[in-house]
Amino acid sequence: MKHIITEYASLIFDCDGVVLNSNRVKTRAFYQTTLSYGEAAAQAFVDYHVANGGVSRYKKFSHFLEQIIPTHTISPPDIDLDTLLQSYAAQVRHGLLNCQVAESLQLLRERTPNSRWLIVSGGDQTELREVFATRGLADLFDGGIFGSPDTKDQILAREIQNGNIENPALFLGDSKYDYQAATTAGLDFLFISSWSEVTDWDKWCHEQKIQNVSNISKIASQLTASIKIFDTK
């Protein structure tokens, strides 16, 4: 099954690493938020975060407290999950408001007038909606902006069930979890590589037969060349 991108009824975008160049913003924030537990614990957490791109902060910090702290810290400070989440959110908000937006995003929106656009992210939903509104991006996503604490799997299943995501649908993501979530939901998938933190992405895409492109600007500029998005199932 083949589709020109303009033929998709629904285009679902991850936020970090696809629409916003914010992966490194969040990686730094995860490190700084947990540094009071020691450099070893903070680095172990960053390693876990990078290996689990696209997973919500709620699950990541729970993993930090339950799995990393017991093995990396002898006398951990008395900080609970809510405190970690608040500290992380304060650090990351500034970065989200100032990081680079994908070039040609508006052009792609203009070239896909019949497609419904959605954000489905591991980022906090309230935070995402505030940032996108402040940066003048919210109106591009007429299908809505969705994030944690719901997982991407939960969001996709819900929005498909209520008819907000219609087939054919394409998920544009930059992590292995994005691919897994899209596949589970029965969506086509396109890997966006330029800002991804998947170190072996080219090898992985080749092995999984996943079509990839460097960035959104490349998609917009090549539409006239009838770039095809292939269903890899």
pLDDT in tens, 141-198: 999 999 999 999 999 999 999 999 999 999 999 999 999 999 999 999 999 999 998 9
Same domain, 88 and 53: yes
State the residue for tokens 């020109």: 4
Same domain, 77 and 136: no
Q: Is the pTM of this model over 0.75?
A: yes
Give the pair of three-digit tokens for residue 154. Answer: 């939960």
Residues 6+ away with beta carbon under 8 Å from 190: 170, 171, 172, 173, 211, 212, 213, 219, 229
* Residue 227 pLDDT exceeds 60: no
**Total structural domains in the chain?**
2
Last residue of a domain, one of 98, 115, 132: 98
Same domain, 43 and 55: yes
What are the counts of helices (DSSP H) followed by strands (DSSP E) for the chain? 11, 8
Residues in the chain, total: 233
| Nearest of 107, 105, 225, 122 to residue 175 by alpha carbon | 122
Last residue of a domain, one of 43, 74, 98: 98
Same domain, 159 and 216: yes
What's the domain range around 118?
2-20+100-230
| Nearest of 166, 109, 181, 119 to residue 144 by alpha carbon | 119
Model confidence pLDDT, tens digit, residues 32-68: 999 989 999 999 999 999 888 778 888 899 999 999 9
Cα–Cα distance for residue pair 78/64, rounded to 1 Å: 14
